[in-house]
């Protein structure tokens, strides 16, 4: 598979802007004064160990968790103070690709993809829904799996279908939670390629939560290194790992890239 070049349409317009973000659970302080921006058309890979607060960060971005302190602006909206109806409307503009794909096992692929569309776009005809499902399946390379049950898909195929389900509502922002977790190296490379294809074809702005250095290096226009609740370094992959910080060097050595 030919490797796509990293692509950014960074116009300087922030689609996510976070400042002074804190989040604790009882006595455990998870996020400690996070400042973060995602610009239109770029991919940012948030890289860190398990338990570093990566998943908590994206749950705050979509309003699944409330911060203890700080400002969270997503597409111009203050997420933490939105009423339920406004928050639901904002979430329709954000695609959340869950780590476990979150497919309904009792529905086939077509039904899984049609469900969010029919729930949120009730003015669409049946041909419109079918066309939309076929289009996103073609985008992820799985049009031939339209009538298959999730249980008959491989792990990589389930990830692709999960991404297709987020794309069907044409989101402006994509959030990927550990997209290569549990996949073999070949399948991981295919998912990495797909993330870059989505960025280019749909002009999305994306946050990729990962502990996988290969995924971060090959998807992120910028890397944000999150360790112990704070961003130690933000920049290109080369800039981040040129750091003399012993924690960053230790993370790189632990996750050695060929």
pLDDT digits (tens, 9 = 90+) for 176-204: 999 998 899 999 999 999 999 999 999 99
What the block records as the tokens of 73 is 């602006």
The mean pLDDT value for 218-225 works out to: 95
The four Cα atoms 69, 31, 33, 68 give a dihedral, to 10 degrees, of: 10
What the block records as the tokens of 241 is 């790992």
Domain segments of the chain as ranges: 1-51+63-93+179-258, 101-170
The mean pLDDT value for 30-42 works out to: 94
Given a cut of 80, is residue 4 above it in pLDDT? no
Edge-first strand order for the sheet with 69-74 is 28-39, 14-25, 69-74, 77-78
Given a cut of 90, is residue 102 above it in pLDDT? no
Distance separating alpha carbons of residues 77 and 79, to the nearest angstrom: 6
The mean pLDDT of the chain is: 89
pLDDT score for 254: 65
pLDDT score for 94: 95
Provide DSSP, 2-64. Answer: PPPPP-----S-EEEEEEEEEEEETTEEEEEEEEEEEETT-EEEEE--TTSSHHHHHHHHTTS
Given a cut of 90, is residue 55 above it in pLDDT? no
pLDDT score for 70: 95
Domain 1-51+63-93+179-258: give its CATH code.
3.40.50.300
Segment holding 113, helix H or strand E: helix 109-120
What pLDDT band is residue 258 in, cutting at 50, 70 and 90?
very low
Choice between 257 and 128, residue whose per-residue pLDDT is larger? 128
What pLDDT band is residue 115 in, cutting at 50, 70 and 90?
very high
Exposed / middle / buried, residue 131 (Cβ in 10 Å: 0-12, 13-18, 19+)? exposed
Given a cut of 90, is residue 114 above it in pLDDT? yes
What the block records as the tokens of 174 is 């994509």
Distance separating alpha carbons of residues 195 and 30, to the nearest angstrom: 27
pTM value is: 0.88
Percent of the chain with pLDDT over 90: 73
Given a cut of 60, is residue 17 above it in pLDDT? yes
The mean pLDDT value for 160-174 works out to: 93
Half-sphere exposure of 157 (CA within 13 A, CB side): 13
Count the Cβ atoms, other than its own, within 10 Å of residue 170: 13
């Amino acid at each position: 598979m030919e490797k796509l070049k990293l692509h950014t349409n960074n116009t300087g317009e922030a689609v996510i802007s976070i400042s002074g973000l804190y989040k604790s659970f009882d006595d455990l302080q998870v996020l400690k004064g996070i400042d973060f921006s995602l610009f239109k058309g770029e991919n940012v890979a948030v890289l860190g160990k398990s338990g570093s607060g990566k998943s908590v960060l994206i749950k705050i971005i979509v309003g699944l968790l409330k911060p203890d302190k700080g400002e969270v602006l997503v597409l111009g909206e203050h997420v933490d103070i939105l009423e339920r109806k406004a928050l639901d409307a904002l979430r329709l503009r954000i695609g959340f690709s869950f780590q476990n794909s979150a497919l309904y096992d009792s529905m086939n692929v077509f039904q899984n993809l049609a469900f969010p569309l029919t729930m949120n776009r009730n003015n669409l005809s049946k041909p419109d829904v079918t066309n939309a499902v076929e289009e996103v399946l073609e985008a992820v390379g799985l049009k031939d799996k339209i009538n298959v049950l999730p249980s008959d898909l491989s792990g990589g195929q389930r990830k692709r279908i999960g991404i297709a389900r987020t794309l069907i509502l044409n989101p402006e922002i994509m959030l990927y939670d550990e997209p290569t977790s549990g996949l073999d190296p070949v399948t991981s490379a295919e998912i990495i390629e797909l993330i870059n294809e989505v960025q280019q074809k749909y002009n999305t702005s994306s946050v990729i939560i990962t502990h996988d250095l290969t995924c971060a290096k090959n998807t992120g226009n910028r890397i944000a290194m999150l360790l112990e609740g704070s961003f130690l370094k933000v920049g290109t992959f080369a800039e981040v790992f040129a750091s003399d910080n012993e924690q960053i060097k230790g993370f790189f050595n632990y996750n050695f890239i060929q």
